[in-house]
Amino acid sequence: MIGVIDTDGECAEWAFPAEPGAVRTARHAVRGTLREWGLDSVGDVTVLLVSELVTNSLRYASGPIGVRLVRRNPAAAGVPVGPALLVEVSDPLPDPPRERIAKPDDEGGRGLHLVAVAAQRWGTRHGKSGKTVWFELALPGE
């Protein structure tokens, strides 16, 4: 792990080198932060989806992989929706990932489908250099 870029009670951000251990390190960092925030209820699904997206970045990109968690409370801003966890995974590759239908015998191709099924919203956006894949999970009970 390169290190924590910014941590503020409602936001945590890291950059990981594009190395095989990045997925495990990202899972550990995300789970630890969710525990600190009292969000164990979304820990398993968040860690699963982060693992899938970091694996995709690792497979196709050669530069650093960014992971960012934002605990959003839209109600505090007057937006009539519940609180959510926004998760972003960024890499220097400009091409957006493509969701595809994996055949039963395929070894891969299920990551984005898992994101689409588990998240309340998800998408991609281009940055100055590279792209970000993001997803949002509802935070129950807040």
Question: What percentage of the chain carries pLDDT values higher than 70?
Answer: 77
What mean pLDDT comes out for the span 105-118?
Answer: 78
Summarised one tens digit per residue, pLDDT across range 67-76 is 999 998 755 5
* pLDDT of amino acid 8: 41
Assigned token pair, 60: 């196709």
Q: Is 92's pLDDT higher than 80?
A: yes
Q: Is 87's pLDDT higher than 50?
A: yes
Please name which of 60, 52, 37 lies closest in space to residue 89, comparing C-alpha atoms. 52
Please name which of 26, 139, 141, 15 lies closest in space to residue 86, comparing C-alpha atoms. 139
Out of 23-27, 87-91, 124-128, which region has the weakest mean confidence (pLDDT)? 124-128
Q: What is the pTM of this model?
A: 0.84
Please give the Cα distance from 40 to 138 (Å, whole number).
Answer: 13
Q: Is 127's pLDDT higher than 80?
A: yes
